[in-house]
Structure 1
Amino acid sequence: MSEMMTRENLTGLYVITDTTRFQRAALVESVSEAIAGGARVVQYRDKSDDVARRREEAAALAELCRRHGRSFIVNDDVALAIEVGADGVHLGRDDAPLTETRARFAAEGLDAIIGVSCYADRLRAERAAAEGADYLAFGAMFPSPTKPHAPGAPAEVLGWARERLGRPVCGIGGITATNVRDLMAHRPDMIAVISEVFAAPDIRAAAEALCHAMAADNTESIQTTEDPETS
């Protein structure tokens, strides 16, 4: 794991790899362009059974992120994250429990960053925060081309989580340089995207556009006054 990475790095544009579009050298180049455009966190996400390719790609991306001082996260696969020296993992609803995952890293002497998908589930978010999740992801914020059937999450949950749970908060799902403005008033720490960056004809320019839109609206905030009965 990179000694440069701390939990304070969990801010800004968070890109998730599109291995259906890019593989091997092309994947590394696409992520390099996203980093050049301002991406601060990179997640390697690949659901295939090609173990050799996944190991090759994850190792190359881990090195790329170390070289540029970016956080590198592996989706689901704790063993792969440990093997390639990733900064941590991201867990979904069907993945290993957070406490078990933390113990696996600790057994290797590693203090990993562990993020958790909370969807729109506030109870899941509260539980993950209590168990020590390093960041909480909510979505889909908008209809997503990557997961078209994913249930939606209201933008207000970002502000609620940030205020109530004391963890970095990430919005994901269908986010573009245009609609991200609807989220920034709720002050998410990170915005995660796949298609908006990696399906763009100019990856670097797409990442720059998102970073610009996020910065332009980050001065605006709202007060979240949720009814305790709904939290």
Structure 2
Amino acid sequence: MPERLRGLYAITDTALQQGRLLVSTEAALLGGARIVQYRDKSADHARRHDEAGALRQLCHRHGALFLVNDDVALAHAVRADGVHLGQGDATLRVARAQLGAQAVIGITCHDSLALAQAAADGGADYLAFGAMFASTSKPQARTCPLPVLAEARRRFALPLVAIGGITPDNAGQVAAAGADALAVIAALWQAADIHAAAAALARTYSPAMSSTT
């Protein structure tokens, strides 16, 4: 599993991808995204189920992991590879009981090594830190200094995911501090060329990757 939790981690955004969710996500996958998280906070359960199911199929065609944000029941219903949980969501224990031992479960740790330790002790599959930089997607999010990420790398053997304000210009700093994967929203879906933006971010971990991947 750890080798699959590496590289570009695309998080969907209903507003930024409106009307082109599958097309834009496929462009990111073709550009090198290895993980996709479906994030939609709306109450339209039927649409969310349909979109999540379609994204799962798309991701698996491209050999990528497909995760669902927050919603353990939806992840189970569409047979997602796993779920990402925030600190206010379902507990890791509940998610593991419903999704099984093989599910990928990631936990938001913000800038807290104590939260990371609790998640690791509880059986999380990856630890997510951020916002690493000012984020247009979550402007109120507190930032996580790069030294905190570096300390997490020293303490934990689990894959580390970094999120928040990550662009091709600063991705190298985050990877150098110890991130195994870069979770990105705005730098992908606001790009004029999503494929090219994904390729630029993916090259952080695969420098030899062609921009025409």
Q: TM-score, normalised by structure 2?
A: 0.93
- Is it true that 1:51 corresponds to 2:45 in the alignment? yes
- Which aligned pairs between 1:34-45 and structure 2 lie closer than 5 A? 34-45=28-39
CA distances 1:18-66 after superposition (whole Å, capped 9, x unpaired) = 1112246x10111100000000000000001111110110000000011
Q: Secondary structure at the match of 1:148?
A: coil
Matching residue of 1:221? none
CA contact (8 A) 2:56 2:80 kept: yes
Which has the larger displacement, 152-161 or 126-135? 152-161
Checking the alignment, whether the CA contact within 8 Å between 1:141 and 1:172 is kept in structure 2 is: yes
Describe how 1:37-186 pairs up with structure 2 within 5 A. 37-106=31-100, 111-186=102-177
Deviation at 1:97, TM superposition (A): 1.0
Structure 1 gaps of 5+ residues are 1-5, 217-231
Indicate conservation of the 8 Å contact 2:2/2:158, yes or no: no
Separation in structure 2 between the aligned mates of residue 165 and residue 213 of structure 1, nearest angstrom = 22
1:29 counterpart residue number: 23
Bigger shift: residues 130-139 or 150-159: 150-159
Aligned identity (percent) is: 52
Whole-Å separation in 2 of the counterparts to 1:125 and 1:82: 25
Q: What amino acid sits opposite 2:6 in the alignment?
A: T
Match of 1:210 in 2: 201
Amino acid at match of 1:156: P
One-letter code aligned to 1:46: D
Per-residue deviation at 1:157? 2.1
Deviation at 1:159, TM superposition (A): 2.2
Aligned mates of 1:90, 1:157 — CA distance in 2: 21
Moved over 4 A (4+): none
Q: 1:44 & 1:54 partners in 2: Cα distance? A: 9
- Greater C-alpha radius of gyration: 1
Q: Which moved more, 1:157-166 or 1:55-64?
A: 157-166
- 1:227 is matched with none
Structure 2: 5+ residue stretches without partners: 208-213
Question: Whole-Å Cα distance in 1 between the matches of residues 54 and 127 of structure 2?
Answer: 26
Contact persistence 1:180–1:214 (CA under 8 A): no
- Match in the other structure for 2:210: none
Cα separation, 2, equivalents of 1:183 and 1:10: 15
Partners of 1:23 and 1:59 in 2: how far apart?
17
Please report how far the alpha carbon of residue 214 of structure 1 lies from its aligned counterpart in structure 2 after TM superposition.
4.4
Q: 1:111 to 1:213 in 2, by over 3 A?
A: closer
Q: Does 1:192 align with 2:187?
A: no
- Structure 1 SS opposite 2:24: helix
Between the aligned partners of 1:86 and 1:7, the Cα distance in structure 2 is 17
Q: Structure 2 counterpart of 1:90, which letter?
A: H
Counterpart of 1:3?
A: none
> What is the TM-score when the length of structure 1 is the normalising length?
0.86
Aligned positions, number: 207
Q: What does residue 211 of structure 2 align with?
A: none
Answer with 84-93 or 14-23: which moved more: 14-23
Q: Distance in 2 between matches of 1:113 and 1:150?
A: 24
SS at match of 1:72: strand
Letter paired with 2:120: A
Query: Per-residue displacement from partner, 1:200-223 (whole Å, max 9, x unpaired)?
Result: 11100000111224445xxxxxxx
